[in-house]
Chains A and B, each alone.
Chain A
Amino acid sequence: MNRQIQTDRNKANLESEGRSSRPSVVARNKQNQLAKRTFFIITLLPMILISAITLVLAIRSWPILSTYSPKDLFLGSTWRPDNGLFGFWPYITGTFWVTIVGILLSVPPCLLTALYLSEYSRSFTRSIAKPILDLLAAIPPVVYGVWGLLAIVPLVEDVLAPLSKRWLSFIPIFKVNQPTGFSIIAGGIVLAVMIAPLIISVVYEILRTVPDDLRHASLAVGATQWQTIRQIVIPRVVPGMVAAVVLAASRALGETMAVLMVVGNVAQVPKSIFDAAYPVPALIANNYGDMMSIPLYDAALLCAALILLIVILIFNILSTLVLQRMLGKNWA
């Protein structure tokens, strides 16, 4: 109640000098309270939005979930909407393959880069790395798709596939079964570049949370930097690194445009990384126009979207919780 005393005193002082008191503290406090309440409601928006999106998708996919058993839907391999056949399996596996390839290609170099930036590089190097990473992150997905079309698909077709055909065709997942470069590996490469800035910057932040004192303690007894990193720094941040990878995976799962342009969009259960595939986001994007004309088609597509969303939400929430805890105030 100090405010009230001060208010009265202020008012008394001003009035004794013959001046009228300005917008009183009382009125300003009322303004404060009103704003506080309005703002509070506004901060509910994010949570409301998440629930709304999930709910709407769930409701609209209900028709197909109630018509077919989950087993037929998810494990079925035939997708012929006009015949009432909705088998998600090729799309699920397609999504899975592209994402895994993207993660496998991206994580090792990104971890190494983040380690390099955090443990070895001079501040000059870091100061040019940051803009590069920011720019890479700002490039629109469709531009990545164009790059993929122009540079990566030919690379796969003319270089990687022949090489694999020559040397690796005894390994099933490397077999080349089609002539074009529109394939999972192309999608994986493009995805890898797209998620790289995220992985690098998150892992870098995590590494920065390890206090220098610990590094110095190890170096002071004559350890090399790599020994210090391997034995002291990395063990401390393993959960964070895992969370970063999971977060990147959740981003890769949802990437639509760039992957769509290079992955071939052939609905088959992939047998090799050189096969074309049809990830779920691409399925949704390509068929929106036909959605309304065939019964249950829209429900099916929305069901696919729902599954995707739920997986992404789980990955996202888990990894964000871990990272928020690790990075605390620095989570940005």
Chain B
Amino acid sequence: MMKKRWQRRHIVEAFVKGLMLVSFLIMAGGLGAIIWTIVANGLPALTWAMVTQIPQGGFYLGKGGGVLNAILGSLYLAGGGTLLALVFSLPIALYLETYLGDSEWGRYVRLSLDVLWGIPTIVYGVFGFIIMLAIGLRASLLAGIVVLSLVELPIMVRAMDEVIRRMPVDLEQAALALGSTKLEVAVRVVTRQMLPGIITAILLAFGRGIGDAASVLFTAGYTDRIPTSLMQPTASLPLAVFFQLGTPYPVVQQRGYASALILTIIVLIISISSRWISANLNKYTVK
């Protein structure tokens, strides 16, 4: 009486489940496919020279050198941008949670952060470019850092906000009960509890910053040298990839793939580290 009958509804379910499984596998396989393509094409050209030298004369025509200028440039840009964003993100995130909570104003602020996150980076780049020109600043490391910090700000605040919101209310109450002011609670208790999450947020923003081309395209310029001052233009890995791929020489294009591989490796390292941190540094946090 309870034997399986191949009723229509069961067939439909099996069919849909099959579609779902296929979709899921495509997504999982997609990541593998992408990484495989980058590795397979980039690895052959990934030489020691690529990572340790700056472009020599004729680099874009096939002669010697490497992309050290771009690697360091990207690290400087993203590093500076992340630091600058951090200076503003942490207070905003702390303020949001400690004072605003779920208030009306808090919702407006969160909405504007989400909107900022949705603005394409090319718009940030153009905006930065205009301001840069207006104040007489030329394409430079500094300009790139400022624009990147604008790009990273919404990401960082959102990630921190997510972490801070998960904080157990009792912890806050306990600290307040001991007579701390709200500021002290914010600084001493919340920050400590949230440290792993904050670090993860920072890494996340850094990862996005280092990969972005559109925002630094106009603002950081490009050069074959490693910048020695904030006022000099700087190369960046995404742009290095782009320019190398734009030449008609296969050798140079190959190096472009290798540069893309370098960038991917950096981003993967950051991503995996942040997972590791959030998994392992949660020792002292209260759940």
Instruction: List the interface of chain A (C-beta within 8 A of B).
Output: 6, 25, 28-29, 31-32, 35-36, 38-40, 42-43, 45-47, 49-50, 52-53, 56-57, 60, 108-110, 112-113, 115-117, 120-121, 125, 128-129, 131-136, 138-147, 149-151, 193, 196, 200, 224-227, 247, 250-251, 253-257, 261, 281, 284-285, 288, 301-302, 305, 308-309, 312-313, 315-317, 320-321, 324, 329, 331-332
Contact = CB atoms under 8 A, between A and B. Distances in A.
A279 to B, nearest CB: 11
Interface string B170-213: 00000000010111100000000000000000001001101111
Given A42-B88, A42-B95, A200 B27 contact: yes
Interface string B239-279: 00110010000000000110010011001101100010000
Contacts of B102: 329
B165 A251 contact: no
Interface of B is mostly: helix
Interface stretch (B12-20, B47-55, B58-66, B223-231): B12-20
A140 B115 CA distance: 20
A254 B119 contact: yes
A6 B179 contact: yes
Nearest to A251: B118
A95 to B, nearest CB: 11
A285 B267 contact: no
B168 interface: no
Contacts of B154: 46
Contacts of A50: 112, 115-116, 119
Contacts of A253: 120
30 contacts: A31-B183, A38-B91, A39-B91, A39-B92, A53-B127, A56-B130, A109-B23, A109-B27, A116-B24, A136-B31, A138-B208, A140-B238, A140-B267, A143-B211, A143-B241, A146-B37, A146-B41, A196-B27, A224-B10, A226-B17, A254-B121, A254-B123, A256-B122, A256-B214, A257-B214, A302-B126, A308-B120, A320-B118, A324-B110, A329-B102
A90 B248 CA distance: 27
Given A139-B264, A140-B263, A317-B115, A146 B126 contact: no
A197 to B, nearest CB: 8
B206 to A, nearest CB: 11
Interface of B: 9-10, 12-13, 16-17, 19-21, 23-24, 26-28, 30-31, 33-34, 37-38, 41, 88, 91-92, 94-96, 99-100, 102, 107-116, 118-124, 126-127, 129-131, 150, 153-154, 157-158, 161-162, 165, 179, 181-184, 204, 207-208, 210-214, 217-218, 238, 241-242, 245, 256-257, 260, 263-264, 267-268, 270-271, 275
